[in-house]
Chain A
């Protein structure tokens, strides 16, 4: 356990060094968030009746999405790990007395958390200062705040476990860009980072909410804004727990199977 924590610390501190990149990222995410808010407010003006949630709930969703982008982005893959798999230096990784799945999982989580820590605060602070329906509001009850934090951590685990599956798939191909892109674009859409799930047709939304994608960012952000409450909240959190175990367990087994077949060619 301690070994993995050390790796987490190394990665985390390493990630914190990229402050200029974070600054650029923050300004990009601000602009992105603003345009989204403007876009949805145009739709809200067009037909307020058809708007599936309160506008302030949507605004909170958008700002949380921008602030915690690094935790939930489906396109993030550790380039070290990818090149390790394709150029064979994974051999060095294999001789270490560590479990590779846990190690890579820790590394990826650490990279995500360090990025998010650098970026989230300025966005959260400014967004909460914005005038009423456009800004970030507080969650309705303290329970929602607690559940938000819990489901956000679990959601990040689900996202990371999903990307671990892609690393496993990389063992089987020479150039994995294609597989990655297909997986990423499907995950992006189904997780609601393109369009928040409430805006999709009801039947489709209900199905997606049951899948691992529905419990990625959709769940924590909507618990925060109070758009998911009561029994639904408990049920979906249970679902999220279930998927976390399934994806991590499945990924671990798959990686063990993939590693058995790995052939490192000399050098």
Chain B
């Protein structure tokens, strides 16, 4: 943990060397997700509700997913840059060091510019939380926190899978984007609006719905079972197959030799 903190500080200082570029990238990130926000805003304004969810509820859902995604992306970005890392032999150097592999990969790239999205989610929460009509008792606050934490875990798991696949293909798979970026893009709306098939997929295969749709039902008072609020905890199970795949990948790893 202490080592990770050192990585963290080094990355922060190095990125602060190019201040103008840093803030432009931050602004770019902010604009990207702001346009996603505008898209949802215009759609909800035109149609008022989708599958019974109102604008405020969708925005709450969007903010939670956005925050989870940006947190995961900020810290697990090293996995995203994993393909070139394998290609140029940097991973070989990592393997000879007597420290945890995952820790080093995580520390190799921390994208602070991704915080642009995080700030947006934060601002959205500030606006929505008082106005959305949810009575914020302790259990509801806990639900929201669990939604964000659970989402972060699932997205991190997806980034790990993305990297593990690189062991076998040495190149990033574009198809994984549908789960990571797609999860962010389409996860803005409760997964139930895409129909039962997608909802089931997002419950049992890639458990994004566990930290999004079900707790949201509890949060908005559609169901009263407290169990729904605790489902994000279950999504942590998703990390097990991800880490197994990672281990398998390391086992399978042959250096590219450069």
Q: Tell me the A residues contacting B by CB distance below 8 Å.
A: 21, 24-25, 27-28, 31-32, 35, 38-39, 42-43, 45-47, 50, 52, 173-182, 184-186, 188-189, 194-195, 199-201
Contact = CB atoms under 8 A, between A and B. Distances in A.
Given A174-B21, A201-B42, A46 B177 contact: no
A186 B178 CA distance: 22
A189 B43 CA distance: 14
Contacts of A38: 193-195, 198
Interface of B: 18, 20-29, 31-32, 34-36, 38-39, 42-43, 45-51, 173-175, 177-178, 182, 186, 189, 193-195, 198
A179 B24 contact: yes
A43 B175 CA distance: 26
Contacts, number: 110
B166 to A, nearest CB: 13
A107 to B, nearest CB: 22
Decide if the interface of chain B is mainly helix, strand, loop or mixed. helix
A24 B173 contact: yes
B195 A174 contact: no
Contacts of A28: 174-175, 177-178
Interface centre among B48, B51, B193 (most CB of A within 10 A): B193
B37 to A, nearest CB: 10
A50 B46 contact: yes
B21 A178 contact: yes
* Closest CB pairs A-B (n = 5): A178-B24, A181-B28, A189-B35, A195-B39, A42-B193
A178 B27 contact: yes
A24 B50 contact: no
Given A177-B24, A185-B31, 14 more contacts: A28-B174, A35-B182, A35-B198, A39-B186, A42-B189, A47-B46, A173-B20, A175-B21, A178-B22, A181-B29, A185-B35, A186-B31, A195-B42, A195-B43
Contacts of A175: 18, 21
27 contacts: A27-B175, A28-B175, A31-B182, A35-B186, A39-B189, A42-B193, A46-B47, A47-B47, A47-B49, A50-B47, A173-B20, A173-B21, A174-B21, A178-B20, A178-B21, A178-B26, A181-B25, A182-B24, A182-B27, A184-B28, A185-B34, A186-B35, A188-B35, A189-B38, A194-B35, A199-B42, A200-B42
